[in-house]
Amino acid sequence: MVLRAVIILAALLVPNAPAFATGLTVADDGTSAGYITLAWPDTRGNSFELKQKTASGWHTLYTGGDRATTLSGLPDGSYEFQLTADGARVGTPVTVTVSHHPLSRAWGFFAVGAFMFIALTAFLVLGGRAVDSDQTAA
């Protein structure tokens, strides 16, 4: 009973959040792998244009009716994106920072994998010999 009262009170006191995000959002954050998926699922319009800010201004990356796009092969750095729908700017620009996994982590995973491969192979070979020698002795 008390828990129900707390939940109801919290629901009344917490400001309502919008049901849907409008404008440009990061739908899949692969910034540590060099890719991102930008989406605008609840934005009204028929024709969308996604732009990226560069040193020379805004560069168009995508034009069409789809409501998401994936950008891959991004090197480390910060990227700013802007969406327009039917020629009108939607929301505020989104800034994404790409920072790849360090190479030392990749080498560490490789070393662990190599060790596991060698250990498993040795276990299978030595275990197979032990079974063969037990069967020969019997």
Q: Would you call 88 helix, strand, or coil by DSSP? A: strand
pLDDT of 87-107, one tens digit each?
999 989 999 999 988 889 889
Neighbours of 81 (CB within 10 A): 21
* Positive/negative CA dihedral, 126, 128, 131, 135: negative
Q: What CATH code is assigned to 20-98? A: 2.60.40.10
Work out the pLDDT band at 1, boundaries 50, 70, 90.
Answer: low
pLDDT at 128 over 80: no
Q: Where are the domains of the chain?
A: 20-98, 102-138
pLDDT at 14 over 70: no
Model confidence pTM above 0.85:
no
